[in-house]
Amino acid sequence: MARKKIALIGSGQIGGTLAHLAALKELGDIVLFDIVDGVPQGKALDISQAAPAEGYDAKIKGTSEYKDIEGADVVIVTAGVPRKPGMSRDDLLEINLKVMEQVGAGIAKYAPDSFVICITNPLDAMVWALQKFSGLPHNKVVGMAGVLDSSRFCHFIAEELGVSVKDVNAFVLGGHGDTMVPLARYSTVAGIPLTDIVKMGWLSKEKLDEIIQRTRDGGAEIVGLLKTGSAFYAPAASAIAMAESYLKDKKRVLPAAAYLDGSYGVKGCYVGVPIIIGAGGSEKVIEIALNGSEQKAFDNSVAAVEGLIEACKKIAPKLA
């Protein structure tokens, strides 16, 4: 069986890390694409030269031509600009929307049967626009945010309780922004909900609230430290988990920005919810029951995403 093909549109910090991780996991051959000539080629050569030391087999090619992504099974999109200190993800909207138009056209022409994972921010609006620009079916275009936000939540909980990250399962819904909704009730340590862990006295309510806020601000904390860009190791690892579930038909249940056509009472919008990712792409949206305050927080988050989508439609009327 021929190797799978993974195309990475954008070969910056996340793109390069994605290529390295995909190679280490032997997910397939890799094409790094970027408009800046030399960068994808240089990274491809560097990662190829790491192969003998690591022992992976993969063909890795750097390119500035869309035709090289032809026939890709998975396309992961990080093209665009990242945040600088003081910027919100929403500040990137106008410039990255133009990038999505070019990327969507490239995917439509050369990889119309691929599974597309968008990472570019502001995530929920960009994945919505990318689906429209590419014309691919909704189940084949998703956004990576929930795995990252949940992973950040898990890390903080595991660190606070002094337990293995393997035993922590955290859950974040909603848009990838300040309004995201980390759900304590559905987040567990060895199956015990965090709300029960608070009742048991293992974690204080104040500490949990602090962790929830730190999770919401997780991206900004890293932007503030790096000063010249945004997080890339954890975003790349998160997208690779989604790509792997698709390529191996693992049917993992992962939070991701998925198209909602009525579930959760939302229509025509991409927002973070749990989905099953398998060979069919986003195979099923899992609709969990939300209590009053959770629903309110989710609705608030959806409203923020809808506001960004409206802003996209004003900038690019053909999206309306």
Residues 236-255 that bind ligand APR (CB under 6 A): none
- Confirm whether residue 209 is marked as ligand binding: no
Burial class (CB in 10 A: 0-12, 13-18, 19+), 100: buried
Check binding of 134 to ligand APR (CB under 6 A): no
Check binding of 11 to ligand APR (CB under 6 A): yes
Name 81's Cβ contacts closer than 8 Å, sequence gap at least 6. Answer: 92, 95, 96
- Confirm whether residue 196 is marked as ligand binding: no
Chain-centroid distance of CA 296 in Å reads: 24
Check binding of 151 to ligand APR (CB under 6 A): no
Question: In terms of Cα–Cα distance, which of 100, 36, 161, 159 is closest to 309?
Answer: 100
Residue nearest to ligand APR (CB): 12
Q: How far is the CB of 2 from ligand APR (least distance, A)?
A: 26
- Pick the catalytic residue from 20, 138, 155, 176: 176
Q: Tokens 């506001």 label which residue?
A: 307
Please give the size of the binding site for ligand APR, defined by CB under 6 A.
29
Name 154's Cβ contacts closer than 8 Å, sequence gap at least 6. Answer: 165, 168, 169, 170, 187
Tokens coding 140: 């084949």
Check binding of 119 to ligand APR (CB under 6 A): yes
Question: In terms of Cα–Cα distance, which of 161, 163, 120, 158 is closest to 142?
Answer: 120
Check binding of 63 to ligand APR (CB under 6 A): no
Q: How far is the CB of 79 from ligand APR (least distance, A)?
A: 3
- Which residue among 110, 232, 259, 270 contacts ligand APR (CB under 6 A)? 232
**Residues in the chain, total:** 320
- Confirm whether residue 252 is marked as ligand binding: no
**Burial call 164-203: b when 16+ CB within 10 Å, e when fewer:** eeeebbbbbbbbbbebbbbbbebbbbeeebbbebbeeeeb
Question: In terms of Cα–Cα distance, which of 294, 176, 162 is closest to 234?
Answer: 176
Cα separation, 173 vs 290, whole angstroms: 11
Q: How far is the CB of 223 from ligand APR (least distance, A)?
A: 9
- Confirm whether residue 16 is marked as ligand binding: no
Residues 72-111 that bind ligand APR (CB under 6 A): 78-83, 92, 96, 99, 102-103
- The one-letter code for the residue type at 157 is I
- Confirm whether residue 12 is marked as ligand binding: yes
- Which residue among 235, 255, 272, 274 contacts ligand APR (CB under 6 A)? 235
- Which residue among 134, 230, 282, 301 contacts ligand APR (CB under 6 A)? 230
176 is catalytic: yes
Check binding of 12 to ligand APR (CB under 6 A): yes
- Confirm whether residue 14 is marked as ligand binding: yes
Tokens coding 64: 């500035």
Check binding of 315 to ligand APR (CB under 6 A): no
Applying CB under 6 A, the span of 115-123, 197-205, 238-246, 255-263 interacting with ligand APR comes to 115-123
Cα separation, 79 vs 99, whole angstroms: 7
Check binding of 36 to ligand APR (CB under 6 A): yes
Applying CB under 6 A, the span of 12-20, 66-74, 163-171, 258-266 interacting with ligand APR comes to 12-20
The footprint of ligand APR (CB under 6 A) covers 9-15, 34-36, 39, 78-83, 92, 96, 99, 102-103, 119-121, 229-230, 232, 235
Q: Which residues are catalytic?
A: 176
